[in-house]
Amino acid sequence: MMTSVVLVAGMVAGFLLVLRPLLGHARWPLERPDRRDDVARAVSSLRDLEFARAAGTIDPADEARLRARIEASAFAPDVPAATLAPVRTFIVAALLAGIVAVVVIAVLPASAGDRAPGETITGNTPQSAPGTSELEAQARAHPDDVPTRLALAQAYEQAGRTSDAADQYKNVLALDPKNIAALNGLGLILFQSGSLDGALVAADKVLAIDARDPDALFLKGFVFYEQKKYAEAVDVWTVYLEVGQYHPAAPMVRQLYADAKAKIGK
C-alpha cells in the first residue's frame, strides 16, 4: 500500500511540474473572513433566548430587543469579490484529479487484498458516535461507567427526554457526588422545569468545587435575574464575564448584565 501511495504522489508531482507554466500568474480568489465562530455564538445565544421565551422567564419586549441585537451581531458587510483564477487553471486541476482517481481505483483493490479478515479497506477509520440505544446497552452492561452515563444523559436531552436525562445525572451523582458535568446538567434541567431553588442548589454545589466554573456562574446569575435579585446577578455575572467570555451564553448575559446594572442604578 505504501508503494502505491508513493507512486500516486510522484505522478501528481510530475504533472504539476510539467503543467506549471500553463497556470500563469493569475491570483486566486481572496478568502472571505471566517464568520462561522460569530454566527455559531449567535445561534447558541438565540437558542438560550428561545428557551427563556418558552419558559416565560423573559419579558417579550426584552426578548425582541435582545434577539434583534444578537442577530445583527452575527453578520458583517460582504467583502468585495477578488479576481477569479483563470478557467484553464480549473481545467488543469480537474484533469489532475481525474488522473489521480484513475490511479487510485487501479491500485486500491490490489493493495486492499492483503488486509486482515474483517478489516475495513480504509483501515482504522473513526467510527460515528454511538446512538442512544447503544449507550443504553453500554450503561446496562457497565452501570458504573460514568462517561457512558453522561453521554446517555446528553443524548436524552437532545431527544427532549429531560426526565430520563435527569435520572442519568442522578445516577452519575450517586457514583460521584462531585461530578461537575452532572451537577451542571441537572441544574439546567431543574431550571427548565421551573425549580429555581433546585437549580441554585446545583450551581452552588459546583461553585463549592470550582468557584470559577462558567456554566455554574451563568446558571446562578440567571436564577438571581429571574428572581429579580439584580444586585446578586450582577455580582455573579461580573465573575462569569471574566472567566466565560467565550462561553456560548456570553452574548446574552452581556445584555442581561447591562439591564440588571441599570435596574440597580449602577
Structural domains in the chain (count): 2
Largest CA distance in the chain: 76
**Residue 33: all three cell numbers together:** 473572513
Q: Which residue has the cell 449567535?
A: 42
Q: What is the CATH number of the domain that holds 203?
A: 1.25.40.10
Sign of CA dihedral 182, 188, 191, 192: negative
Identify whether residues 11 and 96 lie together within a single domain: yes
Domain hosting residue 183, numbered range: 178-263
Identify whether residues 110 and 184 lie together within a single domain: no
Mean pLDDT, all residues of the chain = 73
pLDDT of residue 55: 54
Question: Is 220 within a domain?
Answer: yes
Identify whether residues 106 and 6 lie together within a single domain: yes
Cα–Cα dist 68/75, whole Å: 12
Between residues 159 and 57, which one has the greater pLDDT?
A: 159
Question: Is 248 within a domain?
Answer: yes
**Three-state DSSP class for 47?**
helix
Question: Is 8 within a domain?
Answer: yes
Question: Is 210 within a domain?
Answer: yes
**Residue 27: all three cell numbers together:** 491570483
Cα–Cα dist 157/181, whole Å: 14
Cα–Cα dist 248/2, whole Å: 44
Identify whether residues 103 and 218 lie together within a single domain: no
Question: Average of pLDDT values for 21-49?
Answer: 50
Residue 215 CB contacts under 8 Å (≥ 6 apart), including other chains? 184, 206, 247
Backbone angles phi, psi at 180, to 5 degrees: -65, -40
Question: Is 9 within a domain?
Answer: yes
Cα–Cα dist 159/141, whole Å: 22
Question: Is 78 within a domain?
Answer: no
CB-facing half-sphere around the CA of 111: CA atoms within 13 A: 17
Question: What stretch of H or E contains 160?
Answer: none
**Model confidence over 201-252: pLDDT tens digits?**
999 999 999 999 999 999 999 999 999 999 999 999 999 999 998 999 999 9
Question: Is 258 within a domain?
Answer: yes
**Residue 158: all three cell numbers together:** 437532545
Question: What stretch of H or E contains 227?
Answer: none
Kindly state the DSSP code that residue 20 receives in the 8-state scheme: G
**Model confidence over 161-210: pLDDT tens digits?**
999 999 999 999 999 999 999 999 999 999 999 999 999 999 999 999 99
Q: Which residue has the cell 471574566?
A: 242
Question: Is 251 within a domain?
Answer: yes
65, amino acid identity: R
**Residue 257: all three cell numbers together:** 448584565
pTM of the model: 0.55
